[in-house]
């Protein structure tokens, strides 16, 4: 099994998909390195999973802070074999609350968070000529959805960046995987007012992600219905797209 006896980093492990990944992987003999800003939540998770097979190390970390990422990496004992860079934030933005601070937070976490962590992981992985970097993007990377324009933009940047890195890193034996979930029931989506088609729970999402990494997939996108739908939506002409999403978002 790909995860057995490996050191596995999960960023954004305090809630949602990251927490579900930690719970699932804790049944495998491996070391889980869990990070997030809310250390109290990580302590609870560590206590709850302590009876399982995995050894668990937790670190408080803000992925949008380059220095903090550097420091956290330096505190991690041993090398990282698999990094699931999952930390992410939403950020509702509209003409009435438009604020670059929201943009800084969303891009700082969803894009710079990946860039900072990859910068820290790369030297060791290059040296060992192996490693897996799985970055969590979104199926919302396909278009700019109203209210989520910063989020969609950040995920489009993440997906495109991960795709390029995937090809570039091959020569060092490092695998880069892009994870693109559709709607998953987590604190991030808990307050969404619009209908979320094919909404799945975080446990199922974690299962699909783990299976996808096991199978060496380049892109793990789910659920398949939303993944197929997203591809069609990206082909829809603007005048139809605008009307369609306005209706969907209740605008
Ligand atoms: N839920 C969905 O429908 C959906 C769909 C597509 C993609 N995704 C992506 O899946 C990933 C996980 O999201 P989720 O749905 O599980 O949401 P979530 O429950 O809100 O989890 C987000 C995680 O990221 C962490 N985080 C946020 N900002 C951070 C920062 N600056 N530094 C470090 N950690 C940070 C949070 O921990 P702290 O607040 O404790 O730091 C939390 O553990 C995100 O990248 C998200 O964009 C989710």
Catalytic residue among 6, 19, 31, 155, which? 155
Two structure tokens written together for 179:
């994870």
Instruction: Return the H-helix or E-strand segment holding 211.
Output: helix 202-214
Calpha distance 214→111 (Å, rounded)? 25
Within a domain: residue 156?
A: yes
Within a domain: residue 182?
A: yes
pLDDT level of residue 247 (50, 70, 90 thresholds)? confident
Substitution candidate for ligand 1 out of 36, 139, 221 with most atoms within 8 A of CB: 36
pLDDT tens per residue, range 37-64: 999 999 999 999 999 999 999 999 999 9
- Write the CATH number for 27: 3.40.50.720
Instruction: Return the H-helix or E-strand segment holding 108.
Output: none
Helix-strand-coil percent breakdown of the chain, rounded to 5? 50, 15, 35
Within a domain: residue 2?
A: no
pLDDT tens per residue, range 146-172: 999 999 999 999 999 999 999 999 999
Instruction: Supply the pLDDT for residue 1.
Output: 76
- Domains contained in the chain, number: 1
CB 161 within 8 A of CB 116: no
Calpha distance 74→141 (Å, rounded)? 32
CB 9 within 8 A of CB 84: yes
Instruction: Supply the pLDDT for residue 77.
Output: 87
User: Which residues, other chains included, contact 123 with Cβ-Cβ below 8 Å and sequence gap of 6+?
Assistant: none
Examine residue 223 and say whether the peptide bond preceding it is cis (omega within 30 degrees of 0): yes
Active site residue 151: yes
Judge if pTM exceeds 0.85.
yes
User: Which residues, other chains included, contact 221 with Cβ-Cβ below 8 Å and sequence gap of 6+?
Assistant: 139, 179, 180, 181, 182, 227, 230
- Mean pLDDT computed over 236-247: 91
- Which atom of ligand 1 has the smallest separation from the CA of 109? 31
Within a domain: residue 1?
A: no
Within a domain: residue 130?
A: yes
Task: State the residue range of the domain holding 127.
Answer: 7-248
pLDDT tens per residue, range 54-94: 999 999 999 999 999 999 999 998 999 999 999 999 999 99
167 CA to centre of own chain: 19
pLDDT tens per residue, range 196-212: 999 999 999 999 999 99
Within a domain: residue 36?
A: yes
Within a domain: residue 201?
A: yes
Ligand 1 within 6 A of 36 CB? yes
The CA 65 to ligand 1 mean position distance, Å, reads 16
CB 25 within 8 A of CB 14: no
């Amino acid at each position: 099994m790909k995860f057995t006896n490996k050191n596995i980093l999960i960023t954004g492990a305090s809630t949602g998909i990251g927490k579900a990944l930690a719970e699932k992987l804790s049944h495998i003999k491996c070391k889980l390195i869990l990070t997030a800003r809310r250390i109290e939540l990580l302590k609870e998770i560590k206590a709850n999973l302590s009876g399982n097979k995995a050894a668990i190390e937790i670190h408080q970390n803000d992925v949008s802070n380059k220095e903090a990422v550097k420091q956290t990496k330096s505190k991690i004992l041993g090398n990282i074999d698999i990094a699931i860079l999952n930390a992410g934030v939403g950020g509702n933005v509209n003409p009435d609350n438009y604020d670059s601070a929201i943009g800084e937070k969303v891009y700082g976490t969803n894009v710079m968070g990946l860039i900072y962590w990859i910068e820290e992981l790369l030297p060791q992985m290059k040296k060992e000529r192996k490693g897996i970097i799985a970055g969590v993007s979104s199926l919302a990377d396909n278009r700019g959805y109203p209210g989520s324009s910063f989020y969609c933009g950040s995920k489009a940047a993440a997906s495109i960046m991960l795709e390029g890195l995937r090809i570039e890193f091959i020569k060092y034996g490092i695998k880069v995987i892009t994870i693109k979930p559709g709607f998953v029931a987590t604190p991030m989506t808990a307050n969404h007012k619009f209908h979320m088609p094919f909404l799945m729970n975080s446990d199922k999402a974690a299962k699909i992600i783990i299976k996808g990494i096991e199978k060496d997939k380049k892109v793990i996108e789910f659920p398949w219905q939303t993944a197929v739908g997203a591809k069609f939506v990206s082909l829809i002409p603007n005048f139809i797209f605008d009307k369609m999403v306005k209706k969907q978002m209740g605008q």
